[in-house]
Structure 1
Amino acid sequence: MRVLLLKHFDFDDPSFFISWIGRHEHELTVLFPPNGFYTPSCDDFDLLIILGGPMSAYQDNEYPWLQSEKKFIREAVERGKKVLGICLGAQMLAEVLGGKVYRNQYKEIGWHQVKRNGTQHPLLKGVPDEFYSFHWHGDCFDIPEGAVSLASSEACRQQAFAYGEGVLGLQFHLETTEGCMTTMLERWQHELVDAPWIQKAEHILKETGRTTDSKAILNQILSNYQTD
């Protein structure tokens, strides 16, 4: 399988994806749209993975490359490509499919529980009904027409959705490594304000052992993409 991965900030760590792709002898191409996004050919990949970023999906004026990337994502979906969007990636997916992306009532930072809503989907086969994942987001999205809602958290009513059999958007970060998390807490510490769903840095770091369970869940999801 040929995998195209889109990364949106310099210290994001896609090492889990790189390791998984290597173990399964897939091909990987990594692009960094903020440096200028050229449109790849949809004929050159089978699975598109869109990672998160500190920008918002609706900030086209501040980040002009977002327009080109969203147009490309729409084309990939229309061409029937498998797609996994995470945080910003999920929000861009929701927008290009006709949903609205907007500021959530609460910013959600730290280890918070995600609950599936009982809707079954092949890409979530084997994923627990309830689990903890790392979060760092202030935006939310409405479920696009034709898509199905799959999960929520107490702070955010939409945590996952699917469109068709091969497109999945996840608001949360199963992929985050301890190193990336530590750097986020250092560089973005100004966001760790006193708020209902924002945990303190000490608590977040104390819970980094949860990354083991997160990676097992993400491994299951990626394995589901290999099943037609």
Structure 2
Amino acid sequence: MRFICLQHVWYDNAGYLEEWSKAWGSELHYIDAKKPDDYPLMKDNDVLVILGGPMSVQELPETDWMQREVDYIEKAMNEKRKIMGICLGSQLIAHILGTEVSSLPQYEMGWAELNWHTSFLEDFDVDQLSIPMFHWHSDIYDLPKGTKPIGKSELTPVQGFYTDHILAFQFHPEMTVEGIQNLIDHDDQEIEKRDKTVDMEGPRADPGYVEQSHNRFQPIIEKFLNVHGEKKID
């Protein structure tokens, strides 16, 4: 198994997914999303991962590289390859599936609990857990036709969606402590635009919350990729 990760900014990486891939002996390659000429031909067992970034799907009409990125993602979707999208990545997938991407009046940034959808819990064989997940987005979307919802939060009615070959998160289950701090350091001008009801303490790299979100993310990844067994992830 090889992960092809389209990366939009250097400080927003695959986080826990990178740790997981190493534990399972899988390759993970970062591809600069702004350089479509470097996009690789995908092989049979490749998994496409579209990461987050400060861009917006609403910039598509005037952004050539992003239009080519959409074409690449759509080709993989048509080939029924396994695809994971996180934040901006999920928004790009939603756009391809015909759903409008719109802006929140105030951004959802920080730790907030998710209400996981019953069908998602059943399909992925996980329990309902009242734990906070990390959010860092200003755009949202409706549930794309032909997909099932992952869950919702107080500000965002659709926190992701899935099919048999697509897993798209609006939130950030992959974030590490370092990754969250990088977002805070590089996108700090955006923090003032956030809805203050999301996280009263403000976005923070909380190790306990990060560990909880990874514990939630791991069985979901393994169910989606049909990987079973025990692997220790340090």
* TM-score scaled by length of structure 1: 0.88
Task: Tell me the SS of whatever aligns to 2:156.
Answer: coil
Whole-angstrom CA distance in 1 between matches of 2:155 and 2:208: 22
Cross-structure match for 2:170: 171
Q: Residues 198 and 126 from structure 1, CA distance in 2 versus in 1: closer, same or farther, beyond 3 angstroms?
A: closer
Cross-structure match for 2:40: 40
Unaligned ranges ≥5, structure 2 = 228-234
Q: Tell me which moved more, 166-175 or 99-108.
A: 99-108
Matches within 5 A, 1:30-179: 30-43=30-43, 45-120=45-120, 124-126=124-126, 128-163=128-163, 165-179=164-178
Matches within 5 A, 1:174-185: 174-185=173-184
* TM-score scaled by length of structure 2: 0.86
Q: Residues 151 and 15 from structure 1, CA distance in 2 versus in 1: closer, same or farther, beyond 3 angstroms?
A: closer
Unaligned ranges ≥5, structure 1 = none
Q: Tell me which moved more, 182-191 or 133-142.
A: 182-191
Equivalent AA in structure 2 for residue 134 of structure 1: F
Alpha-carbon deviations, 1:108-136, whole Å to 9, x = none? 00001111121236763325354311100
Do the aligned residues in 2 keep the contact of 1:155 with 1:197 (CA within 8 Å)?
A: no
Do the aligned residues in 2 keep the contact of 1:108 with 1:155 (CA within 8 Å)?
A: yes
Q: Residues 27 and 44 from structure 1, CA distance in 2 versus in 1: closer, same or farther, beyond 3 angstroms?
A: farther
Equivalent AA in structure 1 for residue 120 of structure 2: Q
Q: Residues 122 and 44 from structure 1, CA distance in 2 versus in 1: closer, same or farther, beyond 3 angstroms?
A: farther
Q: Residues 118 and 60 from structure 1, CA distance in 2 versus in 1: closer, same or farther, beyond 3 angstroms?
A: same
Q: Residues 73 and 13 from structure 1, CA distance in 2 versus in 1: closer, same or farther, beyond 3 angstroms?
A: closer
Whole-angstrom CA distance in 1 between matches of 2:226 and 2:217: 15
Q: CA deviation at 1:189?
A: 1.9
Whole-angstrom CA distance in 2 between matches of 1:14 and 1:219: 13
Which 4+ stretches in 1 moved above 3 angstroms?
A: 35-39, 120-124, 127-130, 194-200
Q: CA deviation at 1:76?
A: 0.7
Percent identity among equivalent residues? 27
RMSD over equivalenced CA pairs, Å: 2.3
Matches within 5 A, 1:205-216: 205=204, 207-216=206-215
Q: CA deviation at 1:45?
A: 4.6
Whole-angstrom CA distance in 2 between matches of 1:94 and 1:156: 14
Do the aligned residues in 1 keep the contact of 2:31 with 2:39 (CA within 8 Å)?
A: no
Q: CA deviation at 1:26?
A: 1.5
Equivalent AA in structure 2 for residue 75 of structure 1: K
Aligned length: 226
Q: CA deviation at 1:18?
A: 2.1
Do the aligned residues in 2 keep the contact of 1:55 with 1:88 (CA within 8 Å)?
A: yes
Q: Tell me which moved more, 2-11 or 60-69.
A: 60-69
